[in-house]
Amino acid sequence: MQVAHIGYTSVEGERRIARLPALVVNQIAAGEVVERPASVVKELVDNAIDAGSRRIVVELEQGGIELVRVTDDGSGIREEDITLALAPHATSKIRSAEDLDSISTMGFRGEALASIASVSRVSVRSRTSGSVGGGGVQIDAEGDRVDPPKPAAGPVGTSVTVRNLFFNTPARRKFLRTPNTEQGHCVDVVTNLAMAHPAIGFTLRTDGRVVFDLAPDQSPKQRVLDLVGRELAEQMLEVNVDRFDDVRGLAMWGMVGLPTIARANARAQHVFLNGRPIRDKTIQHALREAYRGLIEPGRYPTAVLMLVMDPRSVDVNVHPAKVEVRFRDQSMVHSAVLRSVREALRSADLTPKVAFNPNSGPSSMFRPDSALPGSLGAHRPSTPDPQAFVRFFHRPHGGEVAEPLSYQVLKTTLSSGNADQAVDVPDSVVAGVTGGDRVETVGEHASQAVEHDRGEYDQSLATPIPVSRVLQVHNSYMVTQDDQGILIVDQHALHERVMFEYLLHRITAASGEGGGGLESQRLLVPAVVGAEPRRIARLGELRPLLARLGIEAEQLSPSSLGVQAFPSFLYERGVTPEEFLADLLDRADADDFAPESESALHEVLDMMSCKAAVKAGDRLSERELADLLKLREAVERSSNCPHGRPTSIRLTIQELEKRFGRS
């Protein structure tokens, strides 16, 4: 650390070594402890908890950038100690190096207030219950200036106000995110601490609005449910390890979510060690393992785990913000978490409750009769509409798609030598036979396209390939042939890409060119989506994006929102507003999600396409397969799905010949 206190100073062009002033030292230390308003909130609430408070009130303005105030009813600071509280490496929590081995308080390093004061305007007001005359004391500090303490009135406890964070370090201030993002982090921090301390009442106010107000003396379970949203209560399982591992010095309690409420990011995972929120790879891994096979890769189970261990079997002094810890016996912790979570999941009924509907089959878009509302009359014979599928996408296509040609038909055509009779050759066949490069013009104009197809078929007669049937393998992949060999297409990936391009076009193009946004269906009663207050708080920011997608949503309570209108086509494809919005809020939770950016729009459209596309395992009819394959040629970037994975792979004739030892 000594080295850190020494820097180069440039004097008349020459850099010489000089001792840094105390302010700069503290500011550097602040860089470790205070990186954003959330760190301030954390340090102050930690202190409030260590002071034995029963109620803690946290107030934020502008995401904490303008103001963070933490008020508690704890023991308070004695008048004579208050100056020391602002000095670096001054603490009431440890006395000697030995104490580091058994830390039971939240803070201990003694640098928090000093660091914060070095980069902001801090005011501490405090009163102990035994204070002489019943008065309190207040001290103000700003950068390196500390005013002398002065008397101040107020209740027992401490109130620390931090204003204008980083006012004297413009570089750091510039690195702060939008107030909304910063606020999100602050809410996270308070949420975590409130979960860990159900006995303490927590009130969080942002810009005068109550985010949550939690009564003291709650049970851990009540507290967790209050914070994750009571709506999820039925989907949470309790986890206990008291059956074992007690001997080994680990006790654990927690709640984990059913696989159905797994999230797209790990933010719904809250892990605590001895009341302190931690981030630990071992535990994350154990959780992932416990859910393996139950949730898709890339999704994260919802989990709140509270571990209690002998402080001596864990080192918490490895990270300045204390979020990382080092377990003496990692594998013990891993197996304890894994076993108990697995046990909880095993004893629960994980079968999704939505009944399997034997009629659902391939998704409705592929059922020709359902695409035409007029034919929905159950008693009317439904006329199959060959255009139903194609029409869904943004380029019109020429010619009807018929069943793949039989050899007989082809033979007749060949022998008559008249290509015109082959008009009902599926485009996909033609495209497949002749290669994609020549099909670009398909779809410019219906009648032209038909003409064009004939011409192409003419050319294709020269090749000795008779006809391409499309084969569906394991209801997931399409296999067909093209001029180079065998083409294997992932039906979900391809359809997802096709959907994506279509939706993007609908939303971004002008209304005259097939754009104009998505039609949305209003709901009788709002569909209620429950989520933590922090995620709900972002609704305002998301609203313009939602409007572009045809979604209307209003906040109903701090932890829920109601969807009032939802895109018709998602409804048609069986996607519910509840699941979609829950996922969307998850995505929006990621740090790099800027709702107004194009990348955010793409991300959400990708989510829509993925949910609406045919899935691996959906059985498709021959015509549906042919139609889908045809779209492969019609859509840009069809080789990869929106995630970048390939939609198709090809096995060339050369490769086959090599494999069969023919060349």
Partner 1 sequence: MKVICDRGALLDAVNLVAAVVPQRTPTPALSCVKIVATKGPGGAQLTLSGSDAETSLHLTVTAVDVHQPGEAALPADKLRAIVAAEDGEPTLTLETDGDLCHIRGQNAHFRVYGYPTADFPPLPDFAATVAGSAGAEPAKSVFSQPAGLLLDLVQKTTFATARETSRYAINGVLLKREGKKMEMVATDGRRLALCRASAGGAGGKDAGSVSCIVPTKALNILQKLAVSEDDTVRVAVTDSRIFFAFEEPAAGGGGGGGKGDKDKHASQPRAVLTSTLVEGTFPPYEDVIPKDQDKKVRASRDTLTSAVRKASVLTNEESRGVRMTFSGGDKRLKLSSRAPEMGESEIGVDLSAYEGDDIEISFNPTFLTDVLKVVSDDEVIFELKAPNKPGLIKTQGGDFLYVVMPVNLAT
**Angle (CA) 218 224 227, round 5°:** 105
| Residue number with CB closer to partner 1 (300 or 569) | 569
Amino acid at position 541, single letter? E
CB of 552 vs partner 1, minimal distance in Å: 8
CB of 562 vs partner 1, minimal distance in Å: 12
CB of 430 vs partner 1, minimal distance in Å: 22
CB of 265 vs partner 1, minimal distance in Å: 22
Tokens of 610: 């993925």
| Residue number with CB closer to partner 1 (143 or 396) | 396
CB of 356 vs partner 1, minimal distance in Å: 8
| Residue number with CB closer to partner 1 (150 or 522) | 522
CB of 573 vs partner 1, minimal distance in Å: 8
- Closest listed residue to residue 471, CA positions, set 488, 496, 492, 495: 488
- Residue with the two structure tokens 């929905």: 376
CB of 545 vs partner 1, minimal distance in Å: 16
Query: Packing angle between helix 539-549 and helix 598-612, nearest 10 degrees?
Result: 60
Helix, strand, or coil here: 359?
Answer: coil
User: Kind and range of the H or E element at 541?
Assistant: helix 539-549
CB of 393 vs partner 1, minimal distance in Å: 9
108 contact partners, CB below 8 Å, separation of at least 6: 91, 93, 94, 99, 100, 317
CB of 618 vs partner 1, minimal distance in Å: 15
| Residue number with CB closer to partner 1 (155 or 377) | 377
**Cα gap 652→649, rounded to integer Å:** 10
**C-alpha distances in angstroms, 310 versus 247, 250, 328, 392?**
11, 7, 11, 62
513 contact partners, CB below 8 Å, separation of at least 6: none
Burial class (CB within 10 angstroms; exposed 0-12, middle 13-18, buried 19+) of 320: middle
| Residue number with CB closer to partner 1 (7 or 514) | 514
Burial class (CB within 10 angstroms; exposed 0-12, middle 13-18, buried 19+) of 113: buried
User: Kind and range of the H or E element at 38?
Assistant: helix 37-50
| Residue number with CB closer to partner 1 (17 or 524) | 524
| Residue number with CB closer to partner 1 (208 or 512) | 512
| Residue number with CB closer to partner 1 (35 or 578) | 578
| Residue number with CB closer to partner 1 (31 or 396) | 396
| Residue number with CB closer to partner 1 (54 or 619) | 619
Radius of gyration from C-alpha coordinates of the chain: 32
CB of 517 vs partner 1, minimal distance in Å: 4
**Cα gap 567→387, rounded to integer Å:** 22
User: Kind and range of the H or E element at 527?
Assistant: strand 520-530
Q: List alpha helices for 562-621, DSSP H.
A: 568-572, 577-588, 598-612
| Residue number with CB closer to partner 1 (249 or 514) | 514
Question: Which residues sit at the interface with partner 1, rule CB under 8 A?
Answer: 353-355, 357-358, 360, 364-365, 371-374, 376-377, 388, 391-392, 394-396, 506, 511, 514-525, 527, 550, 565, 568-569, 571-574, 576, 578-579
Amino acid at position 586, single letter? D
- Closest listed residue to residue 500, CA positions, set 401, 609, 425, 584: 609
CB of 473 vs partner 1, minimal distance in Å: 22
